[in-house]
Amino acid sequence: MIRLDPQTSAPWDDPQDWWPALTAATIDLPAPVGVLAVEALAANAHDLLDRAQGLPIRVASKSVRVRGVLDAVLALPGYRGILAYTLAEALWLAETHDDVVVGYPTADRAAIARLAADEQLASRVTIMVDDVAQLDLVDAVAVPGARAVIRVAIELDASFRSRLLGHVGVRRSPVHEPADAEALAEVVVARRGFRLVGMMAYEAQVAGVTNAGSGKAAIRAMQRASVRELAERRGAAVAAVRGVAELEFVNGGGTGSIESTHADASVTEVAAGSGLFGPHLFDGYTHFHPAPAAAFALDVVRRPTPDIATLLGGGWIASGPPGPDRVPKLVWPEGLRMLARESAGEVQTPVQGAAARELGVGDRVWLRHTKAGELSEHLDAFALVENGVLVGETPTYRGEGKVFL
């Protein structure tokens, strides 16, 4: 099992030593090679705990997709439970974990049938709803009274409705007002075969939007306003739902909003996952700076011109609005840049810059993915490197034959 001991140094702050050491440790592994630096992963795990200030952290599996990492993090005091992203994944994880909340509604009839037919899984897994139609679908798959009782959580829409900007945030739940949450809670409680146990609200416009830099003053102002508005509205919604049912948990936030989320007294736990791997998206926040625990290396395979080196592969584009911030970030050697007319391609990624002139066929170039768990979808396993030494590997979901979404 991966051990995540507290760290007293930050060797990743010295790129001249850090990246060449990863190259040396993994040089005999074929590219593309993904690496988890154990000491950086440990530093990130403990930093998240420090930021949460004692509030339990539920690990967002979508941002990891590596069971070995989930197990290692959940072994640390302060982490409790998993926030899964599909019901099929939750059922798989619930074979070995007893507290799995599905962060998104499901229409997977086969997974619903399996959940409804297994008392143990039904006691370990909580599904997410924001609409009576989702309850109807469960009933259509498995008749109440002839199935296990299904644990349910209600998702409150955490988006910000600004007079100036309009809707700010992601389009998730239609349950926006406290009265909406109370009304849905009453329906759930009245429905045979369901038990209301929790609530969730994910403030994407705070947790998932970078805010560092002089050009981001408007974003920081929006986030402050959103935090104030949500604290009042979420508090009222939670109080209203608690008047209908006794809740086991109220989940909120993400890696980018831990500070403001744990300050909300209505929240009993925060969600975090991306901060464990420290993808380059999180280089753009003012209030935290995770270590680059996860990275990948590609081989130089050709030299089309003296000032261009071409990498095999590299087109691992992150989800979200298409743009330059969604492509992998070249981190070593320093001074490399992608070609504007090719960028990161499925088959090849040409790179230019002073360092490109020194690269030869067979040399390695290191990159960091924009997001966290999406990197795991491209790899069967991560090499584990600790203190510059290859100490093992851990399979991704893909390496275990699982691709959920």
CATH number at residue 353: 2.40.37.20
Tokens 């798989």 identify what position? 92
> Does residue 205 have a pLDDT over 90?
no
Question: In this structure, are 25 and 124 located in the same domain?
Answer: no
- pLDDT tens track for 243-259: 999 999 999 999 988 88
Amino acid 161: pLDDT:
86
Helix (H, G, I), strand (E, B) or coil at 344: coil
Question: In this structure, are 106 and 185 located in the same domain?
Answer: yes
Report how far residue 266's alpha carbon sits from residue 46's, in angstroms, rounded to the nearest whole number: 24
* Residue 54 falls inside a structural domain: no
Question: In this structure, are 151 and 24 located in the same domain?
Answer: no
Amino acid 42: pLDDT:
98
Question: In this structure, are 97 and 148 located in the same domain?
Answer: yes
* Phi, psi dihedral angles at 142 (to 5 degrees): -140, 120
* Residue 211 falls inside a structural domain: yes
* Residue 63 falls inside a structural domain: no
* Residue 6 falls inside a structural domain: no
Boundary-marking domain end, from 242, 272, 302 = 272
Question: In this structure, are 123 and 224 located in the same domain?
Answer: yes
**DSSP bridge partners of 25:** none
Boundary-marking domain end, from 245, 272, 299 = 272
- pLDDT tens track for 122-148: 999 999 999 999 999 999 999 999 999
Amino acid 162: pLDDT:
81
> Does residue 285 have a pLDDT over 90?
no
* Residue 361 falls inside a structural domain: yes
Amino acid 236: pLDDT:
95
pTM of the predicted model as reported, rounded to 2 decimal places: 0.94
Tally: H helices and E strands in the chain: 12, 19
The residue-averaged pLDDT of 49-77 equals 97
**DSSP bridge partners of 199:** 154, 250
User: Would you place residue 217 in the very low, low, confident or very high pLDDT band (cuts 50, 70, 90)?
Assistant: confident
> Does residue 75 have a pLDDT over 90?
yes
CB 6 within 8 A of CB 31: no
> Does residue 267 have a pLDDT over 90?
yes
Amino acid 92: pLDDT:
98
Question: In this structure, are 248 and 217 located in the same domain?
Answer: yes
Question: In this structure, are 122 and 163 located in the same domain?
Answer: yes
Question: In this structure, are 298 and 268 located in the same domain?
Answer: no
Question: In this structure, are 396 and 354 located in the same domain?
Answer: yes
Boundary-marking domain end, from 239, 272, 305 = 272
> Does residue 160 have a pLDDT over 90?
no
* Residue 380 falls inside a structural domain: yes
Domain of residue 101, CATH code: 3.20.20.10
Question: In this structure, are 231 and 320 located in the same domain?
Answer: no
Question: In this structure, are 97 and 225 located in the same domain?
Answer: yes
Instruction: Give the count of domains, the chain.
Output: 2
Report how far residue 148's alpha carbon sits from residue 170's, in angstroms, rounded to the nearest whole number: 33
Mean pLDDT, the chain, rounded, equals: 95
User: Of all residues in the chain, what percent carry a pLDDT higher than 90?
Assistant: 82
376: left (phi over 0), alpha (psi -120 to 50) or beta: alpha
Residue 318's domain spans which residues? 11-37+289-400
> Does residue 208 have a pLDDT over 80?
no
* Residue 75 falls inside a structural domain: no
Amino acid 164: pLDDT:
80
Expressed in angstroms, the distance from the first to the final Cα of the chain is 26
> Does residue 215 have a pLDDT over 90?
no
> Does residue 216 have a pLDDT over 90?
no
Question: Highest mean pLDDT range out of 163-172, 211-220, 314-323?
Answer: 314-323
User: Of all residues in the chain, what percent carry a pLDDT higher than 70?
Assistant: 100
| Stated length of the chain | 405
Largest CA distance in the chain: 72
> Does residue 323 have a pLDDT over 90?
no
* Residue 277 falls inside a structural domain: no
Question: In this structure, are 95 and 138 located in the same domain?
Answer: yes
DSSP labels, 137-185: HHHHHS-TTSSPPEEEEEEPP--EEETTTEEES----S--SHHHHHHHH
